[in-house]
Amino acid sequence: MFEILFNSIGKIVLFILSILIIIMIITLILGRHLLKNGKIIFPNILLFTLDISYGLLKRICELVNIDSTFLDNIGIDLQNNINKEKFKHINPEDIILVLPHCLRGMNCPATLGTSGLECIKCNKCDIGKIKEVADKKNMKLFITPGSSFIKNIVKNTEFKGVIGVACPHDLNAAMTNLSTYTCQGVYLLKEGCINTRVNVNEVIDLMNIAGTSNKPKK
């Protein structure tokens, strides 16, 4: 009797593992297709399967010595796609823009305040270009040196949407944690603790589409 029970349990476990493997394979194939061609196929389903299998997929990538960054890139691109139309309905003044402090120049004169670095637009890095647009749109800009500052910003700031810039791993995690808000993300082109780079035009393009669906049609 116990042998039959154990055999049945074994078959059930094997079946569940087989389903998980199939889900992971589908996630990887569709994810690769997304990154390669920029086409979105069942984004909500793909994001769900990525979320439930993320840890295991990361581990598999480590075991076979594959850079797992593409998993985070997929997660970011999916969330961007899912939220984009909703993001267009949010006015710029209801959006916060969060940049990492590592984007600043080597001799940055900015001082550290309660909500992060306070950019003075000295033109020593690309942050000044982004701040110029943010100021014109009354969009709140935060340059944060760490996650504790981000938590403080979320706690003490009223907002509906977020534009985030960070390395793929941190950005994907942050967008997932802030899923109750409408998020858009741009990952860094060059990572590290200093002199990192981002596609400034991509950030500004996101800033420019905010609230565009609220404008009266001509």
10-residue mean pLDDT series, the chain (218 residues): 63 68 67 63 72 79 80 87 92 95 86 85 88 94 85 90 93 91 92 82 94 70
In total, the chain counts a number of residues equal to 218
Give the whole-angstrom CA distance, residue 154 versus residue 202.
23
Enter the pTM of the model: 0.80
Cα dihedral across residues 210, 98, 59, 11: positive or negative: negative
| Sign of the alpha-carbon dihedral angle for 155, 161, 165, 169 | positive
CA–CA gap between residue 78 and residue 215 (Å, rounded): 26
pLDDT at 182: 95
Residue 38 Rama label (left phi>0; alpha psi -120 to 50; beta): left
